[in-house]
Structure 1
Amino acid sequence: MERRTVHIAMNGVTGRMGHRQHLVRSILALREEGGLDLGDGTVLWPEPVLVGRREDALRALAERHGLTRWSTDLDAVLADDSVEIYFDAQVTSAREEALKKAIAAGKHIYTEKPTATGLDGALELARLARAAGIRHGVVQDKLFLPGLRKLKRLVDGGFFGQILSVRGEFGYWVFEGDWQSAQRPSWNYRREDGGGIVVDMFPHWEYVLHELFGRVTSVQALTATHLPRRWDEQGKPYTATADDAAYGVFELEGGAVAQINSSWAVRVHREELVEFQVDGTEGSAVAGLRECRVQHRSATPKPVWNPDLPATEAFREQWQKVPDNGEFDNGFKAQWELFLRHVHTGAPYHWDLLAGARGVQLAELGLRSSAEGRRLAVPEVTL
């Protein structure tokens, strides 16, 4: 078995998501397994090169995980011919320029979303990548969640018949930061820094809806900043200028309607932090991060509305659990493996920068819909 080392510049891994999901649970997890077996007698050994702005944080992170390569000089890292892949998990406002530099340096690109702050910039990145002949991918992690993989299995198997509607609920209470520390960084609540729940979550909803149910053809959204005063990492109060909640209605190709509520100012009364209910002519399902439950047409009870009597039915007990029928690895790691195979073997991979541009487009149109108070068509994105 031949071991081949692939050097990956990882920018932004001192942040929560970049560190936990991408570095530790994906790249370092692959190393703990002995590398990625490509199936042709080659094992790919990922060697991360940590990149960021804070020298002390990078040094501490490298020492903690036994890594030797790190730098605060992105240009120098991109000029290094041994680095094949550039990964970006920075704040949104810094991503577009860094990706352009990496493309110009001839690196393959794997990046968090949104890929840019606007559709024009996202499309330019896709065009530049195509012209450069590099391979490129965008993180679309929720497609790899066990609950949504089970839901996809149901869709592909025709369980629902004609799909009528999709209802999604996402969110949790993010503490303001005064008497309990916030679970999210303060820049998430400053529009001028690329924050806002629409920019953060609508790209997710675009690829979930697109991949499972059909392309989004229109959007009508209402945004809100429910908590306008928050406290930053130093305990200083600041004014939240970005939306912390969004209520969206999406028409889908084929006629189904999706309604998704996203909020960082909601207390959870659900089984999981995100849930999607899908209703069709032949059956319904409710999927979360890990679990998925179904109710077939033939087993649907016949409830009767009577507000004068207490409910006698335990509605949630009337649903059947979908079995795992397999093992589900960490979703971020699973997509990393697919992208690395794509780079080194040419295996098919369609979650590229053009797919990322669709997410940026939906966020942009969602904000515009809320500002103008009207439904907007979502044109098909092409290069």
Structure 2
Amino acid sequence: MTDSTLGVAFIGGGFMADVHSRAARAAGARIIGVTSSTAERSRAAAERIGADRAFDDVDALLADASVDVVHIVTPNATHHDLTVRAIAAGKHVVTEKPLATTVDDAVDLEQRATAAGVVATVPFVYRFHPMVREARARIATGQVGRLFSVQGAYLQDWLLAADDDNWRVSTDAGGESRAFADIGSHVCDLLEFVTGERLARLQAVTSTVFAERASTGPVSTEDLVGVLAQTSSGAVVSLLVSQVAPGRKNALMLEVHGAAESLRFEQERPEELWVGSRTGSRAHLRNNDELHADAARLAVLPPGHPLGYQDAFTAFAADTYAAVRGVAPGGLPVFADGVRAARITDAVLTSARTGGWVDL
């Protein structure tokens, strides 16, 4: 312990509390405590993640002066209220995506965080793979050339059967969008972050494969989404997002095609960036000496020692805590990025409902 050690606490005690707490500890924070939906679950979560204590409720957690940063890892529909309370208590905050289930609520949170002067981030953690930063640098320095097209996908199969169910399926708990808000937001954030271009307009089709699920009952949230879009420069974009793709566990992929070369990143192969050219296409494996500076900063292990999802999460936590201490790390996803994701999700749902193009 030092005077600069940050104290962090978690509202929510499920799977994402495990992920966030491992990242927080590896980033040098002290795990003060956690509160969950019941006292019993709070105690179980505190023991599981190695927290100092289980808080009886949210008010007790927010009143603790040793808590500097609050991680909100609860169902989507609770994010707005809990984040408002954390900001009002003067805490820096990490809110899981989606930041909120409506655009208005997301904008409200961004404005409150700005007015309060707190650090407020959203874990778009795939930005923190070194080879993602390498792709971004190659585009920014002109190595890819003029952007022609982008292909992206995020495919999973954990909701493949009608008896697969989860709170995210429910509109009440998860919001109006499920697959796109949950994982489509990641691929869109990665696309705009890597290319440096915004999606300018889109047209979308959604599909709900099962009208009912085991415990949720009638379902209105989508299982999969197809999107056709254009970027601000006119590049053509195609995206596929699905939680019913057999055999695909966490297949996030982004491929960009420019005048000089193409680049492809696959989250399940994070140590590799495919570089395509008319002749001599190759798999560019992570070699720290060959990386651009921003990518090299995140390459905390020597080549041949794979860095994965949890390492990216740790890098996100470390940059968030650096921001709390007054540093300004490049590429940190903040509440403005959460608002952007909410706007894109809203455009997708609007297009799917109307059958037309929607400007962003």
Pairwise TM-score range, normalised by the shorter structure: 0.7 to 0.9
Which is further off, 151-160 or 277-286?
151-160
- 1:102-122 alpha-carbon deviations (Å, 9 max, x no partner): 111111111111111111111
Give the secondary-structure state (helix, strand or coil) at the position aligned to 1:333. helix
Is the aligned partner of 1:139 residue 2:120? no
TM-superposed deviation, 1:46: 2.4
Q: For 2:353 and 2:221, how far apart are their aligned partners in 1?
A: 13
Q: What is the rounded CA distance, in whole Å, between the counterparts of 1:283 and 1:332 in structure 2?
A: 29
- Measure, in 2, the Cα distance between the counterparts of 1:7 and 1:119: 31
Structural mapping, 1:169-188, within 5 Å? 169-176=153-160, 182=164, 186-188=166-168
Shift of 1:216: 1.4
- Are 2:218 and 1:230 equivalent residues in the alignment? no
Distance of 2:127 and 2:54 partners within structure 1: 31
Q: Distance in 2 between matches of 1:192 and 1:255?
A: 37
CA distance in 2, matches of 1:247, 1:368: 13
CA contact (8 A) 1:186 1:231 kept: no
- Change beyond 3 A, Cα 1:175–1:86: closer
Secondary structure, counterpart of 2:84 in structure 1: helix
CA distance in 1, matches of 2:70, 2:106: 17
Shift of 1:252: 0.9
Aligned twin of 1:324: 286
Does the Cα contact within 8 Å between 1:177 and 1:231 map onto a contact in 2? Answer: no
Number of equivalent positions: 334
Change (3 A) 1:101 1:215: same
**1:29 match:** 26
Asked if 1:264 corresponds to 2:243, the answer is yes
CA distance in 2, matches of 1:66, 1:86: 16
The CA distance in 2 between the partners of 1:66 and 1:207, in whole Å, is 32
Amino acid at match of 1:221: A
CA distance in 2, matches of 1:106, 1:2: 22
- Counterpart of 1:310 in structure 2 is none
Structure 1 match to 2:278: 297
Structure 1 letter corresponding to 2:275? V
1:250-287, CA deviations, whole angstroms, 9 ceiling, x for partnerless residues? 211122122110001112479x7122221111121221
Which of 48, 56, 63 aligns to 2:32? It is 48
Contact 1:164-1:257 at 8 Å conserved across structures: yes
Q: How does 1:1-383 map to 2 (within 5 A)?
A: 2-12=2-12, 14-19=13-18, 21-24=19-22, 26-30=23-27, 35=28, 45-176=29-160, 182=164, 186-195=166-175, 196-213=178-195, 214-232=197-215, 238-268=217-247, 273-289=251-267, 290=270, 291-299=272-280, 319-326=281-288, 327=299, 329=307, 330-348=311-329, 350-378=332-360
Instruction: State the one-letter code of the partner of 1:194.
Output: G
Question: For each residue in 1:56-114, what CA deviation from the matched residue of structure 2 results, as whole angstroms up to 9, or x when unmatched?
Answer: 22212322344321214101211222222111111100010000011111111111111
CA contact (8 A) 1:221 1:249 kept: yes
SS in 1 for 2:99: coil
Matched residues in 1 for 2:312 and 2:336: separation? 21
Query: 1:176 offset after TM fit, Å?
Result: 5.0
Please list the CA deviations of residues 315-370 of structure 1 after superposition, one character each: whole Å capped at 9, or x if unmatched: xxxx4111202335511110100010110133346522122101111101110110
Higher Rg: 1
Does the 8 Å contact 1:137/1:352 carry over to 2? yes
Over aligned residues, Cα RMSD in angstroms? Answer: 2.3
Percent of residue pairs bearing the same amino acid type: 26
Change (3 A) 1:176 1:165: closer
Unaligned runs of 5+ in 1: 36-44, 300-318, 379-383
How many Å separate the matches in 2 of 1:84 and 1:333? Answer: 17
Alignment partner of 2:285: what SS? coil
**Residue deviations 1:29-60 (CA, integer Å, cap 9, x gap):** 33xxxx3xxxxxxxxx4233212113222212
If the length of structure 1 is used for normalisation, what is the TM-score?
Answer: 0.81
- Gap change, CA 1:356 and 1:212, over 3 Å in 2: same
Structure 2 residue identity aligned to 1:53: S
Would the aligned equivalents of 2:273 and 2:283 in 1 still touch at CA under 8 Å? yes
Give the superposition deviation at 1:188.
Answer: 1.7
Q: 1:256 to 1:176 in 2, by over 3 A?
A: closer
Per-residue deviation, residues 161-187 of structure 1 (Å, max 9, x unmatched): 1111111122122245677xx4xx512
| Range that drifts further, 157-166 or 63-72 | 63-72
Which amino acid is 1:28 matched to? R
CA distance in 2, matches of 1:152, 1:343: 25
CA contact (8 A) 1:203 1:358 kept: no
From the superposition, tell whether residues 354 and 175 of structure 1 become closer, same or farther in structure 2 (CA, over 3 Å): closer
Which residue in the other structure is 2:291 paired with?
Answer: none
* SS of equivalent residue, structure 1 residue 345: coil
Distance (Å, rounded) in 1 between the aligned partners of 2:315 and 2:243: 27
Q: Write the distance in 1 (CA, Å) between the matches of 2:186 and 2:34.
A: 26
